[in-house]
Chains A and B, each alone.
Chain A
Amino acid sequence: MSALSTWGARHLQACLGALGRLSRQPLSSLLTVMVLALALALPAGLWLFVSNARAATGGVADAVDVTVYLKADVPLAKAQQLAASARERSGVAAVTLTSADEALAEFREFSGFGAALETLEGNPLPHVLNVRPTAGADGPLEIETMKRYFAAWPEVELVQVDTEWVQRLGAILDLMRRALAIAALVVGIAVLAVIGNTIRLEVDRRRAEIEVTKLVGGSNAFVRRPFLYTGLLYGLAGALLAWAIVAISIAVLAAPVGTLAALYGSRFGLSGLALREVGLLLGTGLLLGLLAAWVVTARNIARIEPRA
C-alpha cells in the first residue's frame, strides 16, 4: 500500500512537474497547443460535416423507394394482389399501396386544384406501389435490378427510381469519408511531429539536469517519466482545445443552418460531437502525445550520459 502510494505520488509529482514546466513558458506552450488543436480540429470538424451531411440528407438517402405506377386499367383488387407478391420478393422491406382514390384525395388536398378536380369525370390517377428495399439491398446495382424486375410486370406502366441522385450522394459521402481518413492520417503524423520535436527540444534544454539525475542513480525510466507526462499533457490540451474550437463552430453555425433548413421545410439541426466522439478525440490526443514522447525520449535520453 505504502509502496503503491509512493508510486502514485511519484507519478503525480512527475505530472505536476510537467504541468509546472508548461506553465512556466506559457506563450510557447500555448502556441504548441494551438497548433495541435487546429490540427486535431480539422478531422474532427470534417467528421462532423460528414455525419451532419448524412443526417441532413438521411431522409433522402435512406428512402431509396422504388415507385411502381400501375396501368390505369388495373383494378384495385389486382393492385392489392400485386402488392402482396411484391412483398414476397427478396430485398423488399415494405410495400405500400396507394390506391387511385387515395392519391386523388391527397392531390385534392395538397395541390390547391380542389375545385378544378371536381370537374373531372373519372379518376385519371393510377394505383401506385411504393416499394422500400431492405437495408442490404439498397445499393445502386440492386435498385437497378429491382427496377427492371417490376418494369417487366405486364400490369406496370412505369417504374421510377432516382438512382442517380442516390449514387451521387453516396459517392460524395464516400469521398468525404476517404478525405477524412487521409486528413486523420496526415494530422496524426503532424501531431506526432509537433509534440516529438517540442519534447526533443525540451530534452536538449534540460540536458544538464538529466546528466545530474543520472549521476545520482536516476534510471532512464525515471528521467523519461516527466517527458512522457509532458507529451500526454500536450496531447490532452490540444484535444481539449480542438473540442472547444469544434463546439464553438457548431454553436456559431447552428442558427444560420437552422434558418436554412427551415426554408427547406426541414427540422434539421446541427449536432455537435457525441460523448463517444469526444472520448475518441481526447483519447487520440493523449495517445499521440504519449507515443511521440515515448519515441523521442527512447532515442534521446539513453544517449545522454553524465560527464565529469
Chain B
Amino acid sequence: MIVFDRVSKRYPNGREALTNVSLRIEPGEMVFLTGRSGAGKSSVLKLVALLERPTRGTVTVDGANTSTLPSRAIPAFRRKIGVVFQDHKLLMDRPVFDNVALPLIVTDTPLREIDRRVRAALDQVGLLGRERVAPLELSVGEQQRVGIARAVISKPPVLIADEPTGNLDHGLALEVMRLFKRFQEVGVTIVIATHDLQLVQEFGQREIHIDDGKIVSGGASSGAAPDAAALPNLQAHR
C-alpha cells in the first residue's frame, strides 16, 4: 500500500531529514513508526500524505507515485488518506459536526448522507450527541477523538497519525490506540508515529524504527502480509 524506494528528503534549510529510506507497508497493516523526535518520523508521514515530495527516490501510495502526480490530482489523492495530528488541527470556530463533516463536504456528498455518516463516525469514537459542541468545550482526549472521526469519516484506505497520543495520559492513549486497532480490523492501512514505546510493545504490531533519517529496523514488511516483497526484492524491482 505504501512503498518508499530509497527516499531522501532534504528541506530547503539544508537539513537532510531522511537518507536513502526504503520501506514497504502492506494493505491492512498497522505499523508503528518509532524514533527520537527529529529522527524523521514526521517526514515519512508528510511524504505519505503528500505534504512534501521526496528529494530523491520515489514514494508510492496505493499505486500512485507522489512525485509525478499532477497538482489537479492531489485533492483526490489526499481523500484516500486520513490524517490525525498531535495538535489535531480542528477548526476551533466550528462545531464538532462541521469539523467531522469536512472531508465529505469537499466531495459534495448529499447532506442526508453527511448527517448519517457524521453520527456514525462520532459513535465510533464515543462522542455521539456532541455534534453541536465547540471543540474548545471538549477535553484534549475528546478533541483528539474528533480529529480521528474526521480522519476516518470518508473511509480512507490509509490512515496516518503523528503522535496521536502525545498529549494524552496512558489510559486515554490506550483507548485511542484500541480505536485505531478497530479500524485496522476492517482493512484500513494504519501508520502511527509515536515515541511511546510502552504503547508499541503492548500492541505488538510491526515497528519501524528510525534514527537520524535512516531505518534501523522493521523496514521490510512482516507477518501481516507474508507474500510481501522484502527490501532486496524491492531493489531488484527497480
Tell me the count of chain A residues lying within 8 A, CB to CB, of chain B. 22
Q: Are A308 and B75 in contact (CB under 8 A)?
A: no
Give per-residue flags for B20-63: 1 if the beta carbon is below 8 A from chain A beta carbons, else 0.
00000000000000000000001001100101000000000000
Complex Cα gap A185–B54 (Å): 49
Complex Cα gap A305–B78 (Å): 12
Binds A, one of B5-13, B101-109, B122-130, B224-232: B101-109
Q: Are B51 and A216 in contact (CB under 8 A)?
A: no
Q: Name, among A216, A222, A305, the residue most crowded by chain B CB atoms within 10 Å (CB to CB).
A: A216
A81 in contact (CB, < 8 A): no
Complex Cα gap A9–B105 (Å): 11
Q: Are A218 and B75 in contact (CB under 8 A)?
A: yes
Q: B94 → chain A, closest Cβ, in Å?
A: 8
Binds A, one of B83-91, B132-140, B194-202, B212-220: B83-91
Question: Which one of B42, B110, B150 lies within 8 Å of A2 (CB-CB)?
Answer: B110
Tell me the count of chain B residues lying within 8 A, CB to CB, of chain A. 27
Q: Are A212 and B91 in contact (CB under 8 A)?
A: yes
Question: Which one of B83, B110, B154 lies within 8 Å of A215 (CB-CB)?
Answer: B83
Complex Cα gap A175–B147 (Å): 64
Complex Cα gap A305–B51 (Å): 8
Q: B71 → chain A, closest Cβ, in Å?
A: 8
* Chain B residue at minimum C-beta to C-beta distance from A305: B51
Question: Which one of A2, A209, A217, A308 lies within 8 Å of B78 (CB-CB)?
Answer: A217
By secondary structure, the A interface counts as helix
Q: Are A217 and B89 in contact (CB under 8 A)?
A: no
* Chain B residue at minimum C-beta to C-beta distance from A3: B108
* Chain B residue at minimum C-beta to C-beta distance from A221: B75
Complex Cα gap A2–B108 (Å): 11
Contacts A2-B110, A217-B107, A218-B106 given; does A209 touch B83 at CB 8 Å:
no
Complex Cα gap A219–B72 (Å): 8
Question: Which one of A217, A220, A308 lies within 8 Å of B45 (CB-CB)?
Answer: A308
* Chain B residue at minimum C-beta to C-beta distance from A7: B108
Q: Are A308 and B107 in contact (CB under 8 A)?
A: no
Contacts A9-B111, A10-B108 given; does A216 touch B162 at CB 8 Å:
no
The 25 listed contacts between A and B (C-beta, < 8 Å) are: A6-B109, A6-B111, A208-B89, A208-B91, A212-B91, A213-B102, A215-B49, A215-B89, A216-B83, A216-B106, A217-B75, A217-B76, A217-B79, A217-B103, A217-B106, A217-B154, A218-B102, A218-B106, A219-B106, A306-B51, A308-B42, A308-B45, A308-B49, A308-B83, A308-B85
- Residue numbers of B with Cβ under 8 A of A are 42, 45-46, 49, 51, 72, 75-79, 83, 85, 89, 91, 102-103, 105-111, 150, 154, 162
Question: A212-B89, A216-B103 are known contacts; what are 20 more A-B pairs with Cβ within 8 Å?
Answer: A2-B110, A9-B110, A10-B108, A208-B89, A209-B91, A212-B91, A213-B106, A214-B75, A216-B78, A216-B102, A216-B150, A217-B75, A217-B77, A217-B78, A218-B102, A220-B75, A222-B106, A306-B51, A308-B45, A308-B85
